[in-house]
Amino acid sequence: MCKISLSRRNKEILIAVCSFTILIILYKLSGKSRSVSNAKEFSQTDSIHTKEETLTKTAYRIQELEEKISILEKQIPKTYPDVRYLNYLARKRILVTGGAGFVGSHLVDKLMKEGHEVIVADNFFTGRKLNVEHWIGHENFEMIHHDIVNPLYIEVDEIYHLASPASPPHYMENPVKTIKTNTIGTINILGLARRVNAKVLIASTSEVYGDPDIHPQPETYWGHVNPIGPRACYDEGKRISETLTYAYAKQEKMQVRVARIFNTYGPRMHMNDGRVVSNFILQALKGEIITIYGSGGQTRSFQYVTDLVEGLVSLMNSNYTLPVNLGNPVEHTINEFAAIIKELVGGNSKIVHSSEVEDDPQRRKPDITRAKKYLNWEPKVNLNVGLQKTVSYFREELRKFSHSQRNKFVPV
C-alpha cells in the first residue's frame, strides 16, 4: 500500500484546484440562472436566493475538503533525522536543561542521533521550540516546560545543566532571576543528580575569569571579577554554581563535570543575543552601521557550536572532574572580526565606534591544555566556514520576517 505525502505546497495547490473547479461550476450555474431569468421561469429574488444557497454549499464543501486533507496529513508518519539504535544496556536517559536554547538544541541533536533518550527542560526565556521541533513526537524525545528554579522529579542517568541566559542583554534584563537560576536552579539539579545517582555536567563560562590580568586564561586562574558590576549577576552566579557543584561532589561523593565555555557562535543563535557575532552579522545583512563598542582592540576567540558540543560530550564521558576550558585559542580583535564579517556579508555598511561598555573584558583567550590532554579535544571548524553557515541562518531568519505565516483557520 503506497503512502500519501502532502506537503504544505501540495496542500495549497489541491485547495486552489478545488476552489477553481467550484468557481467554474458557479459560473455555469450563473449562466443557467441568467438563461432561466431571460425565459422568465424564475423571479430575480429566487435567482439571488439560489446563488446564496450555492455559495453556502460551496463554502461548506471547501471546509469539508480542508478537514479531509488535515486527517490525511495526520495519518502520514512524521520523518525524523536518522538515529543510531542502542540496546537498553547502552542507551542512557539524559536530561538537558536549557535544551531548547542555542547550545542546548545542538547538544540534543548529537545525543538523539547517538541513540539516547533525551529529556529537555526549558522555560523558553531565550530558547525556542522551533530549535527542537524536528524531534517532537520521536519515541526517544520528551520536552518539559519547566523552570529549574523549581525542583524537578524525574529518573535520569546523566544531566547536562545548560539552563541560564548567557548574553548580556538577557542576563541583565532580570539580574535577580539570573542569580536564582545559577544558584537555586543549580542546587535543584545537583539535588536531582544526588537522588537518582546521575552524573552531572555544569555549563560554566569564561566569564568566571572576569576582566583577566593573566593571558591566556588557564583553569588554575581564579579570576578578576567586579562583584557589584552590571555583569556580576552572571559572572558571580556561575562562580557560585561551580562552588556548589564541588561542595556537593565532596560531601555527597557525586560524579561532576564542569565546562568553562568561551565565545560560541553558529545557527540558532538568538537574534537579540547582543553579542559580537549576531550583532555584526545582522547589522551587515540589514545594511546598517556596524557598531564597535570601545576602541575595538579588545580580543575574543570564537568557536563553532558543533565543536563545543563535541567537547561537552567528551568531558561528560571522561573521568576528569576539575574545570575544563572549552574554547578556540585563535584570538581576534573586535576590529578584525568586524572587517571579516563585512567582507563575508558584503554591502555598504560602515564600521563606527561607540562608547565602551562597562566591565567589558579587554582580552579573552582560553588555555586549552587540559582539554587536549584529558579529552583529546580541540576546535576543528574553520572560522570562515562556521561564519558562512551562521550568516546563511540569519539571512533566512530575516527573510521570514517579511512574510507572515499562512493560517487557513482564522479565529473569531
- Residues annotated catalytic, as ranges: 234
- Number of alpha helices (DSSP H) and beta strands (DSSP E) in the chain: 11, 13
HSE-CB of 297 using CA atoms within 13 angstroms = 1
Q: How far apart, in whole angstroms, are the C-alpha atoms of residue 136 and residue 89?
A: 24
Residue 156 burial (C-beta neighbours within 10 Å; 0-12, 13-18, 19+): buried
Place of cell 545557527: 267
Indicate the SS3 state at residue 83.
coil
Helix H segments across 197-352? 232-252, 276-286, 305-317, 334-345
Handedness of CA 327, 331, 334, 335 (dihedral sign): negative
Question: CB–CB of 244/252 below 8 Å?
Answer: no
Handedness of CA 51, 53, 54, 59 (dihedral sign): positive
H/E stretch holding 326 reads strand 324-326
HSE-CB of 88 using CA atoms within 13 angstroms = 0
Q: How far apart, in whole angstroms, are the C-alpha atoms of residue 101 and residue 146?
A: 13
DSSP string, 344-369: HH-S-PPEEEEPPPTT--S---B--H
Question: CB–CB of 218/369 below 8 Å?
Answer: yes
Q: How far apart, in whole angstroms, are the C-alpha atoms of residue 184 and residue 282?
A: 35
Strand partners, 97: 121, 161
CA-CA distances (angstroms) from residue 263 to 100, 219, 332, 362? 19, 16, 12, 14
